[in-house]
């Protein structure tokens, strides 16, 4: 699969990237910096897995030489045979880890995201659940030292959200949160339920990678209709005092975006344009993915909001991810932002699926 010469090439490339990352010119180019970070993380993982695998092969070869040597001490030969048994148990896992590390990195892994959460069926309880999901992601972002910025909020009187749109910025944001797109179902007794009956409600989540300068997305100013209005609901001191909120309609596609969280109309326009570019990138990619053969669609699920991906059962303290058949009885911790175990399982399963596709393509 790989040899020592190949690993030397990897080490040399890692050193080159590290030198480039320390260059002020690279630091000033955000897209190039992220691209190099992604490649560096990929190669470092490959380096660790490759070195470990080669070392195990070397140990197997040495121990096999001892076993095959007729003049070797019987006790030493016995130790070598025992070591070969252990190596035979360790090598398959090391080979699998190496194959996974050889998968090409996703260039989008380090992109920031726009996350949209909307209340679905369930009335006020669905809106409250949408608010709970936002709080869960915000807590997780805090643990990961990511930055969260609200773009648009449509709040309800009971403290939930009909809709909330926000950005998340930081390292590996899209890599970890990309699997959250889809339908989220909650089963619990609402605070407004007098009879103590369990209700089922839902919210939808969309995770959009932010468009970068290198993306070929053309937005002509003539195609935009920009309206300003006074923000309503939760939002701060500026609400209902100035026409700072901005709504942008992209007439060729019919996409409508809005931002109201900033006091400045200019800043709200900037945020709305970020959402528009992200949605147009998402549309562009969905069109491209529709042209691909089913065998090449290796991502977990479709990311479609109509797909129910997860159920949150509060009476049983249970969360179930339906895509990977994983059930955890730690919903209370999950809702406090402890998503690490769940997201790690999704990343692992997605990489396994990509590996299987890669192996099939090699055979065919």
Name which of 109-113, 116-120, 226-230, 240-244 the model is least confident about.
240-244
In the chain, how many domains are there? 3
Judge whether 67 lies within some domain.
Answer: yes
Domain match, 22 and 92 both? yes
Q: Which domain holds residue 286?
A: 221-290
What is the C-alpha to C-alpha distance for residues 137 and 127, in angstroms, rounded to an integer?
16
The pLDDT of residue 134 is: 97
Last residue of a domain, one of 236, 270, 290: 290
Closest CA to 284 of 218, 222, 207: 218
Judge whether 353 lies within some domain.
Answer: yes
Last residue of a domain, one of 83, 102, 121: 102
Judge whether 107 lies within some domain.
Answer: no
Judge whether 215 lies within some domain.
Answer: no
Domain match, 143 and 82 both? no
Instruction: Identify the burial level of 243 via C-beta atoms within 10 angstroms of its C-beta, where 0-12 means exposed, 13-18 middle and 19 or more buried.
Output: exposed
137-141: average pLDDT: 98
How many CB atoms are located within 10 Å of the residue 329 CB? Answer: 11
Express each pLDDT in 43-87 by its tens digit: 999 999 999 999 999 999 999 999 999 888 989 999 999 999 999
Express each pLDDT in 270-324 by its tens digit: 999 999 999 999 988 888 777 655 444 445 544 455 679 999 999 999 999 999 9
Chain centroid to Cα 253, Å, comes to: 27
Judge whether 206 lies within some domain.
Answer: yes
pLDDT at 246 over 70: yes
Q: Residue 187's domain is classified under what CATH number?
A: 3.30.70.1660
Domain match, 67 and 202 both? no
Instruction: Identify the burial level of 291 via C-beta atoms within 10 angstroms of its C-beta, where 0-12 means exposed, 13-18 middle and 19 or more buried.
Output: exposed
Judge whether 356 lies within some domain.
Answer: yes
Domain match, 172 and 305 both? yes
Domain match, 15 and 95 both? yes
Domain match, 35 and 10 both? yes
Domain match, 9 and 97 both? yes
How far the first Cα of the chain sits from its last, in Å, is 18
Per the CB < 8 A criterion, the answer to whether 37 and 106 are in contact is: no
Give pTM, 2 decimals: 0.78
Domain match, 192 and 260 both? no
Token reading at 243: 């026409």
The pLDDT of residue 232 is: 65
The pLDDT of residue 32 is: 86
Domain match, 122 and 231 both? no
Domain match, 241 and 286 both? yes
Judge whether 216 lies within some domain.
Answer: no
Last residue of a domain, one of 264, 290, 316: 290
DSSP reduced 3-state for 197:
coil
Q: Residue 259's domain is classified under what CATH number?
A: 3.30.160.20
Judge whether 279 lies within some domain.
Answer: yes
Domain match, 232 and 119 both? no
Domain match, 12 and 144 both? no
């Amino acid at each position: 699969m790989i040899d020592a010469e190949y690993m030397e090439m990897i080490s040399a490339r890692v050193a080159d990237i590290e030198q480039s990352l320390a260059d002020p010119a690279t630091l000033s180019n955000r897209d190039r910096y992220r691209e190099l970070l992604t490649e560096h993380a990929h190669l470092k993982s490959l380096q660790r897995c490759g070195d470990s695998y080669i070392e195990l092969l070397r140990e197997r070869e040495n121990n096999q030489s001892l076993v095959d040597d007729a003049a070797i001490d019987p006790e030493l030969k016995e130790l070598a045979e025992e070591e070969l048994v252990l190596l035979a148990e360790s090598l398959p896992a090391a080979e699998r880890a190496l194959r996974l590390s050889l998968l090409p990195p996703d260039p989008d892994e380090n992109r920031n995201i726009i996350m949209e959460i909307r209340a679905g069926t369930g009335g006020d309880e669905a809106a409250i659940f949408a608010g709970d999901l936002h709080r869960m992601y915000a807590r997780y972002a805090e643990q990961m030292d990511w930055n969260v910025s609200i773009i648009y909020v449509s709040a309800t009187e009971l403290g939930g959200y009909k809709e909330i749109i926000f950005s998340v910025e930081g390292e590996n944001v899209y890599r970890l949160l990309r699997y959250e797109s889809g339908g989220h179902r909650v089963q619990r007794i609402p605070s407004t339920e007098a009879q103590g009956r369990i209700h089922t409600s839902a919210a939808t989540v969309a995770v959009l990678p932010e468009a970068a300068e290198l993306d070929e997305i053309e937005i002509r100013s003539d195609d935009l209709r920009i309206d300003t209005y006074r923000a309503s609901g939760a939002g701060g001191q500026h609400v209902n005092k100035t026409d700072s909120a901005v709504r942008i309609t992209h007439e060729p596609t019919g996409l409508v975006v809005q931002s109201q969280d900033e006091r400045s109309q200019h800043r709200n326009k900037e945020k709305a344009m970020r959402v528009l570019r992200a949605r147009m990138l998402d549309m562009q990619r969905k069109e491209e993915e529709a042209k691909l053969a089913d065998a090449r669609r290796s991502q977990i699920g479709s990311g479609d909001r109509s797909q129910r991906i997860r159920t949150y059962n509060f009476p049983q303290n249970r969360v179930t991810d339906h895509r990977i058949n994983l059930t955890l009885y730690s919903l209370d911790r999950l809702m406090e932002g402890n998503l690490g175990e769940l997201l790690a399982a999704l990343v692992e399963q997605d990489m396994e699926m990509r590996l299987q596709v890669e192996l099939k393509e090699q055979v065919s």
